[in-house]
Amino acid sequence: MPIYSYRCESCGHTLDALQKIADAPLRDCPACGAAALHKQVTAAGFQLKGSGWYATDFKGKGGGAAPKAEPAAATAAAAAPAAAPACGASCACH
Ligand SMILES: [Zn+2]
């Protein structure tokens, strides 16, 4: 049987109540008599919520990495063919 924590919105009184899940939540404050009790969220509930959110976030980040192709080694620059000595009009070898 779970224990529920209640807090009175009217006077701030807090109490823990052992209740069946099917039981109607408490309303009347035993300290001031106002029907202002509200069920409190337990610390355990917060922790569960937090880890679930983190797991979802982690999954989203893991799926997108595509391997990048490494560029092939640059081909060596083609050696410029040695220019044959041209004998032009201004050549003095003739
Ligand atoms: Zn109260």
Distance 24 CA to ligand 1 centre (A): 18
pLDDT at 31: 97
Fold of 3-59: Rubrerythrin, domain 2 (2.20.28)
Burial class (CB in 10 A: 0-12, 13-18, 19+), 6: buried
**For strand 3-8 and strand 37-39, is the pairing parallel, antiparallel, or unpaired?**
antiparallel
CA of 35 to the centre of ligand 1 (A): 8
**What pLDDT sits at residue 1?**
82
Q: Which residues of the chain have pLDDT under 50?
A: 45-48, 55
Q: To which H or E segment does residue 37 belong?
A: strand 37-39
According to the model, what pLDDT value does residue 45 have? 47
CA of 6 from ligand 1 middle (Å) equals 10
Residue 21: per-residue pLDDT: 85
Give residue 33 CA to ligand 1 midpoint distance, Å.
6
* CA 25 – ligand 1 centroid, Å: 15
pTM of the model: 0.44
